[in-house]
Structure 1
Amino acid sequence: MTEPSMQAPTTGVDDILAANDGYRLRVRVLNEQGLHARPAARLSQEAQKFGCSIHLRHDGEAVDAKSILDILTMAAGHGSELELHADGPDALEALRHLRALFHNRFR
């Protein structure tokens, strides 16, 4: 009888993971024009509804997800993979909400 493999589960895009300092979520930009002005504005507006801190990371750069200007500086195009990090009392709820926003292409 052989031992079952003890590999760590793989995590992919759209999985919310607990971290020592809050929660993390990887998402992919699905809309054709990327995070241009309208989706960046929508993302920052939706993030501002939560009391937790929310940061967005792309290509090693982390910005405040509540700031439209910060989001625009990332120049995240179609297909870009981003990581959201939330820390605070409503962090999990915030990431669930923002995940749906990415899935619905900011509509």
Structure 2
Amino acid sequence: MAERHVTVTAEVGLHARPAATFVQAATKASLDVTIAKGAGSPVNAKSILSVLALDVRRGDVVVIRAEGEGAEELLDQLAGIASAP
């Protein structure tokens, strides 16, 4: 399983619009994708409610994991979304 540790830099964290963009990108992939806040329990990265419930704020570190063919590329894309200012 591939993973990325990403520091969220957006002023609003991973809320509303950034979360929707993140979930849309995750949903387009046929891979299993999870996201966790710090060392917390991972949630389904394809669920907007689960991602919003993490309450990810600016400066928080998230761990994004994916498994399957193309996981590295997907994680690069999702990490870019999570770390966009």
TM-score normalised to structure 2 length: 0.90
1:31 is aligned with what amino acid?
A
What is the CA-CA distance between 1:103 and the residue it aligns to? 3.5
> Which residues in structure 2 correspond to 1:6-21 (within 5 Å)?
none
What is the CA-CA distance between 1:85 and the residue it aligns to? 0.6
Residues 56-93 of structure 1, C-alpha deviation per residue, up to 9 Å, x if partnerless? 01141211111110000000111000000101122111
* Equivalent residue, structure 1, for 2:37: 58
Aligned: 1:28 with 2:7: yes
Aligned to 2:64, the other structure's residue is in SS state strand
- Runs (5+) with no aligned partner, structure 2: none
Query: How far, CA to CA, are the matches of 1:71 and 1:100 in structure 2?
Result: 16
Query: How far, CA to CA, are the matches of 1:104 and 1:26 in structure 2?
Result: 14
Using CA pairs below 8 Å that are at least 6 residues apart, which structure has the higher relative contact order? 2
Aligned to 2:42, the other structure's residue is in SS state strand
Please tell me whether the aligned partners of residues 14 and 52 of structure 2 are also in contact (alpha carbons under 8 angstroms): yes
The structure in which a higher percent of residues are helix is 2
Please tell me whether the aligned partners of residues 27 and 99 of structure 1 are also in contact (alpha carbons under 8 angstroms): yes
Query: Which stretches of structure 1, 4 residues or more, deviate above 4 A after TM superposition?
Result: none
Aligned: 1:100 with 2:80: yes
TM-score normalised to structure 1 length: 0.73
Residues 3-41 of structure 1, C-alpha deviation per residue, up to 9 Å, x if partnerless? xxxxxxxxxxxxxxxxxxx10100011001111111111
Q: Tell me how large the CA RMSD over aligned residues is.
A: 1.2
What is the CA-CA distance between 1:100 and the residue it aligns to? 2.0
**Bigger Cα Rg:** 1
